Chains A and B, each alone.
Chain A
Amino acid sequence: MDFRIITRHFKSPWFIRLALFLAIMGPGIITSSVDNDAGGITTYSLAGAQFGYVMLFTLIPMTVALAVVQEMGVRMGVVSGKGLAALIREKTGVRLVFFIMVLLLVVNFGNTLAEFSGIAVSGSIFGVPPYASLPVAALFVWLLVVRGNYRSVEKVFLFGSALYVSYIISGYLAHPDWKIAAVNTFIPSVSPDAAYVTMIVGLVGTTIAPWMQFYLQASVVEKAVSLKHLAYSRLDAITGSIVTNVVAFFIILACAATIFVHGIPVSNVADISAALAPLAGNYAAVLFAFGFLNASLFAASILPLSTALSVCEGIGFEAGVSKTFREAPVFYGLYTGTIVLATVFISLPNVPLISILFLSQVGNGILLPFILVYMLVIANDKKIMGEYVNTRVFNYIAGATAAIMIGLSILSIMLISMGFL
């Protein structure tokens, strides 16, 4: 036998497995991290600040739900080698996919606005005015994708994911009551209070966004993960779901231990960062604001690209950063247009941002049932998935997850239209 190949890279079998996992990980962890975007962090902080430790119990079921949906997404991507939009089109035809893509475009534009407003807000916390921070951020985002390749961009994104640790430190610095936190994580406390129900709906609503499923599957496909390494991709998806909710846990914790305990009224991340400084120290406040900037910038990098790629894939236009503007005008138009419009919109005075965010939330809610149902249909299609179709037990869990998510998104649309959210 010849062992020289092994000596080139690896020393021992466990190390080989770790190296393989590190090579394949990325899509799952990145997608889950972006789940904690500007909107997500705002919701978690407000949950902690307004309701305290009692909101922690939502995290374990949310982790399970996210892991189930993400696992299905990477499995579909690895087995079929196709993106979600392409699969839906091949399964159901162009009409439905067109409808979904139009909704996705609108909803993702709303989400992108939220990220850019997050950049403006966190810039202001550090004393950088929006007219400076927004164009710089937009240019950074645009160049990152247009000049980078998948490998280099993924490294930047993985680095961005690692920066979420600032929230864990910030939560620790807030000196939370660990015993109360532990109890509330495992034992739910239910209250029929309208504001309380609204907050839970909001929390769950930020967990699984439609665009995440498109992005996750697309990046697994782009990475060309082979079927033999499906296990590593699944591990990546599940690890990501856990990590992202650990971060959420610390965000809630930081706000619960300080702002809620002292009963300070807050309504946005700037308030929270300002309130944290005297209570948990300047470091905690700076880390919190820095985490928010990172999260907003991170999601702003992914959303426009993911939108352009999904829409082009579903409708059949040339797409990808390896194409020229002339070869892929629709792709570049959508990509650049989203970034430029979002930047301009947020820079305008008196933008009805709140209404836009509500509308994009409603759009998310309308879109999510379609996505989850079609993911379930495709994941059960033997022609596409072969032997990798959902198992019966998995279908029960995934079906229940989808049912709950759909129920909650309908509830959230109702709450929004009644003016609660």
Chain B
Amino acid sequence: MALVSLSEIVKKPVIDVHGEKVGKLADVIVSADAPYPKVKALTVRTSDKHSLTIPWTQVGGLGRQIPLKVGRDEIQQYDVQEHDVHLVEDVLDRQVIDVQGKKVRRVNDLQLSASNGSYLLIGVDIGVRGLLRRLGLEKVADRARIHFEGNYISWDAVDTIHSGPSALQLKVPKHKITKFHPADIADILDQLSVNDGLQLINSLDDEAAADTLEETSPERQISLIEGMETERAAEILEEMSPDDAADLLGDLPADRAEAILELMEPDESEDIKELLEYPEDSAGGIMTNEFVAVHADFTAQQAIEEIRTDAADVETIYYIYVIAKDETLVGVISLRNLLLARPVDKLSSFMRTDVITVQLTDDQRDVAKKIAKYNLLALPVVDEEKKLKGIVTVDDAIDVVLPTAWKKRVPKAFG
């Protein structure tokens, strides 16, 4: 199997069938419609500064010299197709996503392999060795007996993201990255430019996009949402938990936030609007208003039915809050106690009535302290009339003490 590195053939002489030099190889064009793209044509820069695009059918091979099968005058011009990618211009030295390592890498070199009379793009060189080869120092390092392992990733395990006013797009819907955990996607997102990140987000479905956004830094969230179509932003925000959506909207310019809210489903936008009324650092500002609340005169059986039908979208179901007719909070039941109770038992007969609560305007740090002190998974938030307004879950409480950006770095740098 003949392997060729792109850096070994670029700028090498292209010789026609009569042995005359046509020019130097400038670029290699592949068609990106297969897992391993096939070489379709070569771009050659002639000595009088013209550019020729020679179809692969007229090329004899790749190496230190690139022989053509035809004479100089018989060269046909290749028409560049929609899926065609210029390896030097569009891939070399750019960023790709390493799907296995879940990292953003920079392309030091590309590997082509001979197959059935043509060449396929098979791998990306991301290692020091590829770097040295590009710098013309590979032989020097070998002679000095400094050995660097080659570090390749298969083209099949690479996602490309290109954006920009006129950049070529790899139209193949590869994007294996969409199957990553949102936190991993967010890590990759943080390393991309806003434009590239936008394209990545746009390739995700609404739910994955929402989960990913929740994991990125506030600054990046804002830039990404601002760069999106308003409709798409509204759809993604619908999928986010209302408290995160409210924080994000609160940081957007007011007119943009209004426009997004207008386009959202009324019941989703109502939830968010309600949360936006409270100061950012209060219990009301960090709570979510998606929680399970059932009436005190329900039986255990009825409560479980209620949860089954309504609770798909709520953040936590481990606590079931019990409310009176006027929505005042009268008790709480853990999921365990609900399951252990007899189906006919009234909730009021076995609920805990000494519920630990916070007020809407309480400081978020006090909320976090209470959650820590009583080892709770969530804490109900009530207004002055003791009406249940929302809950603060333990993950949001952690964010108070340890902001998302820090969660990622503090333990790691010393880990």
Residues of A within 8 A of B (CB): 1-10, 16, 20, 80-82, 86, 89-90, 93-95, 98, 146-147, 149-151, 221, 223-228, 315-316, 318, 320-325, 382-387
* Interface CB pairs A-B, < 8 A, 11: A8-B276, A81-B197, A93-B92, A95-B136, A224-B217, A224-B219, A227-B227, A228-B226, A322-B405, A324-B413, A383-B164
Q: Which residues of A contact B93 (CB under 8 A)?
A: 89-90, 93-94
- Contact partner of A226 (CB less than 8 A), chosen from B95, B166, B222, B403, is B222
**Are A322's CB and B408's CB within 8 A?**
yes
A10 to B408, CA, bound (A): 31
Q: Which residue of B lies closest to A388 (CB)?
A: B165
A354 to B257, CA, bound (A): 57
User: Helix, strand, loop or mixed for chain B's interface?
Assistant: helix
Shortest distance between the CB of B111 and any CB in chain A (Å): 16
A382 to B280, CA, bound (A): 41
Q: Which residues of A contact B94 (CB under 8 A)?
A: 90
**Are B253's CB and A383's CB within 8 A?**
no
B106 within 8 A of A: yes
A322 to B189, CA, bound (A): 13
If the complex has contacts A8-B277, A225-B223, A316-B106, are A2 and B258 also in contact, measured as CB distance less than 8 A? yes
B78 within 8 A of A: no
The 4 closest A-B pairs by CB, nearest first: A81-B193, A316-B106, A386-B165, A226-B223
Q: Which residues of B contact A226 (CB under 8 A)?
A: 194, 222-223, 226-227
Q: Which residue of A lies closest to B216 (CB)?
A: A224
**Are A5's CB and B249's CB within 8 A?**
yes
Interface centre among A3, A227, A322 (most CB of B within 10 A): A322
- Contact partner of B413 (CB less than 8 A), chosen from A1, A227, A325, is A325
Q: Which residue of B lies closest to A228 (CB)?
A: B226
B250 within 8 A of A: yes
A151 to B404, CA, bound (A): 12
If the complex has contacts A1-B258, A224-B220, are A94 and B134 also in contact, measured as CB distance less than 8 A? yes
**Are A4's CB and B277's CB within 8 A?**
yes
Q: Which residues of B contact A89 (CB under 8 A)?
A: 93, 106
Shortest distance between the CB of A216 and any CB in chain B (Å): 16
**Are A223's CB and B249's CB within 8 A?**
no
**Are A80's CB and B193's CB within 8 A?**
yes
Q: Which residues of A contact B412 (CB under 8 A)?
A: 322-324
- Contact partner of A94 (CB less than 8 A), chosen from B108, B196, B254, is B108
A412 to B307, CA, bound (A): 77
Shortest distance between the CB of A381 and any CB in chain B (Å): 10
A9 to B136, CA, bound (A): 57
Q: Which residues of A contact B217 (CB under 8 A)?
A: 224
- In the complex, besides A224-B219, A323-B412, 10 extra interface pairs with C-beta distance below 8 angstroms are A80-B164, A80-B195, A93-B134, A94-B108, A95-B135, A224-B222, A321-B409, A324-B413, A325-B413, A383-B167
B320 within 8 A of A: no
Q: Which residues of B contact A225 (CB under 8 A)?
A: 223
**Are A2's CB and B273's CB within 8 A?**
yes
Q: Which residue of A lies closest to B250 (CB)?
A: A8
A6 to B103, CA, bound (A): 39
A4 to B279, CA, bound (A): 11
B261 within 8 A of A: yes
**Are A147's CB and B410's CB within 8 A?**
yes
**Are B250's CB and A315's CB within 8 A?**
no
B415 within 8 A of A: yes
**Are A224's CB and B415's CB within 8 A?**
no
A86 to B164, CA, bound (A): 14
A316 to B166, CA, bound (A): 24
Q: Which residues of A contact B413 (CB under 8 A)?
A: 146-147, 321-325
If the complex has contacts A81-B195, A94-B131, A98-B135, are A386 and B254 also in contact, measured as CB distance less than 8 A? no
Shortest distance between the CB of B132 and any CB in chain A (Å): 10
Shortest distance between the CB of B144 and any CB in chain A (Å): 18
A149 to B218, CA, bound (A): 13
**Are A2's CB and B250's CB within 8 A?**
no
Q: Which residues of B contact A150 (CB under 8 A)?
A: 405
Q: Which residue of A lies closest to B220 (CB)?
A: A224
A221 to B352, CA, bound (A): 52
**Are B409's CB and A8's CB within 8 A?**
no
Shortest distance between the CB of A383 and any CB in chain B (Å): 5
A318 to B98, CA, bound (A): 13
Q: Which residues of A contact B250 (CB under 8 A)?
A: 5, 8-9
